[in-house]
Amino acid sequence: MLILGIDPGSRHTGFGLVRRRGARLEAVQFGRLSASPRASLSARLGVLAADLDELLDALRPGAVAIESAFLGMNPRSLMVLSQARGALLGVVGRRGIEVFEYSPAEVKNTVTGNGKAGKEQVARMVEMLLGLRGEGVAGDAADALAVAICCAHRRPLETLMEAARE
């Protein structure tokens, strides 16, 4: 199964495609989508949404995992991040791709064992877990790969829990 992790932002959105093969995970592709910081918010979101649409055409993931907004942010940043998430989720939703959402603490805990881990620790663990040592995965892409890893590890349990509720 291919899982596309997304670390949303209004200027830069990280993405990371992970393939699960049995118990092993491998990074297929990762990077970031960027919009001009001089453009208006609506223009930036339009660029990011269009770029994600093209990426979905190229990568064809079976699921998308996205980081949720967290309440510790200042209200303006939270609002802008929420708008970015909405624009990106709209693109995914229009295609009918299953979406999984995880908080930053859930992602960090799954990847590092510490829900309060720093960005550098998360990036190092992502590189170790995916065998990317020495490739220098950039921050946005590392965060997106971490979201995809979180989904790959948690999804089987979530599926079992849903089946038990039925």
- Which of 7, 51, 127, 143 is an active site residue? 7
Task: Identify the sign of the CA torsion 85, 104, 31, 157.
Answer: negative
Annotated active-site residue 57? The verdict is no
- Which of 51, 67, 127, 143 is an active site residue? 67
- Which of 51, 127, 140, 143 is an active site residue? 140
CA 80 to chain centre: 17
- Name the burial class of residue 161, with classes exposed (0-12), middle (13-18) and buried (19+) by CB atoms within 10 angstroms of its CB: exposed
Annotated active-site residue 54? The verdict is no
Catalytic residues: 7, 67, 140
